Structure 1
Amino acid sequence: MSQIPDRIPPLPAPVAEQIAGLTFTAGQPLIIVDADEVLFYFMRGLETFLTGRDLYFDWASYALYGNIRQRADDLPVAAELLHPLLQCFFDEATESLEPVDGAAAALETLSAKGRVLVLSNVPMSARQARQRALQRHGMDFPLIANTGPKGPAVAELLTRAAAPAVFIDDIPHNHASVAKLAPAAHRLHFIADPRLAALLGPAEDCHHRAETWPDLQRLITGLLEPT
């Protein structure tokens, strides 16, 4: 894989503003961690949300589209209705999602080795709810509400930090984006919900697939400890 990133597209203004508001310590490594299915059990919350609307998740694949179905006739929710449905879910349920087992304890320990940043594709309308949830569950780290693939944001963070970085995410296309635009970041693939994890193998562009937060903690410690 090439270590020379392609031209980095401009960041959306809200993402750029959030990153510009951060301060960095020269040489301090970054631990850039996703939220849904990494710090919080997204699918557990989504299933509860869907049940209250006479919908269910089919578990036929990793994708949301096609798997969110109507109980009345088993037909998938139409594509044009999916985005507003998910927006409603984030607005209503973000603050109440369960934290992933071991995440807070691992990040507390790892924060002594690097700067922890939460890079989440949570809608801006639910950003404050996500920050409150992070605080409530012992993960009070800076939150960047991102839009789209995460490569541009990670590339900007690496440029500003000028330090090693670890990236943790459940979505393969985010690993591909980071591999393309910020290849120096060490990419760890993690999916908290075992039902969801069983639907997908290791991301093609990750360096390692982890199964638990203790596994992630061990890997990240090894990457960031001086040799």
Structure 2
Amino acid sequence: MTLVADPDDIRLSDRPLIVSDIDDVVLQFIDPFNLYLESLGHRHLPRSFRLHGNIVSIADGSVLDDARVSALIQDFYRLQHDWQRPFETACETLQSLAKAADIVFLTAMPPVYAATRRALLDRFGLTFPMIATETAKGPVVERLHGGRDQPVVFLDDMARNLASVAERVPECLLIHLKPPAAVFAFAPPAGDGVVPARDWAEAEAIIRSHFHLRQARCQPEKN
């Protein structure tokens, strides 16, 4: 239920930290956005890893100009509660992981739509604190974690966000969780040290294994 503008306002417990992106990680984005476009007489052609330049009129095939595409994205965020739903098992997995770790959502979206996003997450029982930002994610995760002696995990579908966190929080476990959408075939690959996950079930197994290994390393040796 918490909407946060400043990472310093979040009070973490003495547990591991999981920071997760939302669009196309927790909530479906590209598939419902495509349906939204078609409801307006447009179509997204997955010809590159961009929306601008790849949305056309169904009627005549003409390419929508960048300003129109940007407006459509903004309108979709405004109407997200009508279109976006969680991925299968995302809610259950996050609730289960919350028994072992603090969870914070970090979403790259215009903060003007953050309250709408907050209400949508709450509808599905995803009441973990959320930060909406259009800045780089690495510094935000760095401020959240604060160099604590606890494991930290970051999940995202975008290679640039994973790279940003890797640069600022090198000890962080990085998980590349992306949907099986055609446009992601054009996505740049994640860097070295990033662990791919096909779905939330696989992501959960990776996270729990990481926590277990960290705990085992911290246990004192028995004579």
* Deviation for aligned residue 1:46: 0.4
Instruction: Mark the CA change 1:80 to 1:100 in structure 2 (over 3 Å): closer, same or farther.
Output: same
| Counterpart in the other structure of 2:12 | 24
Q: Please tell me the root mean square deviation across aligned C-alpha atoms, in Å.
A: 2.1
Contact 1:175 1:205 in 2 (8 A): no
| Counterpart in the other structure of 1:136 | 123
Instruction: Mark the CA change 1:167 to 1:60 in structure 2 (over 3 Å): closer, same or farther.
Output: same
SS of the equivalent of 2:104 reads strand
| Counterpart in the other structure of 1:48 | 35
Q: Deviations over 1:20-77 (max 9, x none)?
A: 2211224x21100010000111012201221122111102222212222222332332
Give the residue type in structure 2 aligned to 1:121: A
Is 2:80 aligned against 1:93? yes
| Counterpart in the other structure of 1:165 | 152
Structure 2, gaps ≥5 residues long: 217-223
TM-score normalised according to structure 2 size? 0.86
Q: How many residues align?
A: 212
TM-score normalised according to structure 1 size? 0.85
CA distance in structure 1 between the partners assigned to 2:12 and 2:30 by the alignment: 33
Contact 1:31 1:165 in 2 (8 A): yes
Identity of aligned residues (%): 26
Q: Deviations over 1:108-167 (max 9, x none)?
A: 111112101110012222212211221221221111101132111111112175532100
Q: Deviations over 1:3-35 (max 9, x none)?
A: xxxxxxxxxxxx984312211224x21100010
Contact 1:43 1:193 in 2 (8 A): no
| Counterpart in the other structure of 1:9 | none
Bigger Rg, structure 1 or 2: 2
Q: Deviations over 1:90-125 (max 9, x none)?
A: 011246401101111111111112101110012222
Of residues 167, 170, 176, the one that matches 1:180 is: 167
CA distance in structure 1 between the partners assigned to 2:82 and 2:192 by the alignment: 31
Give the residue type in structure 2 aligned to 1:19: P
CA distance in structure 1 between the partners assigned to 2:132 and 2:93 by the alignment: 22
Structure 1, gaps ≥5 residues long: 1-14
* Deviation for aligned residue 1:206: 5.0
CA distance in structure 2 between the partners assigned to 1:148 and 1:55 by the alignment: 30
The residue correspondences of 1:72-83 to structure 2 (distance < 5 A) are: 72-83=59-70
Give the residue type in structure 2 aligned to 1:115: D
| Counterpart in the other structure of 2:133 | 146
CA distance in structure 1 between the partners assigned to 2:108 and 2:22 by the alignment: 8
CA distance in structure 2 between the partners assigned to 1:179 and 1:186 by the alignment: 9
Instruction: Mark the CA change 1:68 to 1:206 in structure 2 (over 3 Å): closer, same or farther.
Output: farther
Instruction: Mark the CA change 1:63 to 1:16 in structure 2 (over 3 Å): closer, same or farther.
Output: same
